[in-house]
Structure 1
Amino acid sequence: MASPTNNHYKALTRILRYLKGNHGQGLFYPVNSSLHIKAFSDSDWATCPDTRRSISGYCTFLGDSLISWKSKKQTTVSRSSSEAEYRALVLASCEIQCLTFLLDDFQLHYTQSALLYCDNNSARYIAANGVFHE
């Protein structure tokens, strides 16, 4: 935003044309929604048949409204599903941290701590153990 280029302008006009042409579509953010952040994290262990790398994904909600999501192939090969899930947790927790900083910048005060859901007990045990990380 400090030094926009022609490529930024082209991207902006493309987005505005899309929004103008799609009136009825969008994400709904109700006014009475709470400022409670929830995130759901998951990974698919060794999905890529060529590289054996896993895919991480998360979706983040503010109240009942979806505000961010991502699916990305992991940069390294995980040796277990627990390790792949832990990497997905790290990705989601970084997103939660950024969102809490954003809420602080907007001076929106949230009363509850963010929740991060994971479906792998081993990854949760690794995350809870602040001492033993290989």
Structure 2
Amino acid sequence: MFSMYGHTDVEGYTDVDWADLATDRRSTSGYFTFVVGNLVTWRSKKQEVVSQSSAEAEYRGMAHGVCELLWLRRLLRDLGFGPKQMDLYCDNKTAIAIAHT
């Protein structure tokens, strides 16, 4: 059951574990999204390529998060709910700076 929290925001959160296994050196990305304060999607997956830095791995993870938000926006619009604001949160300052350029 979904609850209304007084806003119509859609939020996404991403995080990456950079090159966690020495055997394949691929990073693990994860994201989850909230619609009106309710968790609706989540996923974690190994990245398909080896990233050369934690910033690159985080940036790739953010790209997956943005794709999820865009898909979610289209789905919500088809259902007659147009979110006023969509935000993506990441904990890596370098990846955020790259995304802003």
Q: How many residues align?
A: 100
Counterpart CA distance in 1 for 2:21 and 2:38 is: 31
1:27-60 deviations in Å (ceiling 9; x for gaps): x311x34431101100000012210000000110
Match of 1:59 among 22, 29, 32: 32
Identity %, equivalent residues:
41
TM-score by length of 1: 0.71
TM-score by length of 2: 0.93
Letter in 1 for 2:51: S
Match of 1:86 among 31, 56, 59: 59
Poorly superposed stretches of 4+, deviation over 3 Å: none
1:90-133 deviations in Å (ceiling 9; x for gaps): 0000000000000111111222x20100100100111111xxxx
Tell me, which stretches of 5 or more residues in structure 1 are unaligned? 1-27, 130-134
Indicate the RMSD between aligned Cα atoms, in angstroms. 1.1
Tell me, which stretches of 5 or more residues in structure 2 are unaligned? none
Q: Which one has the largest radius of gyration?
A: 1
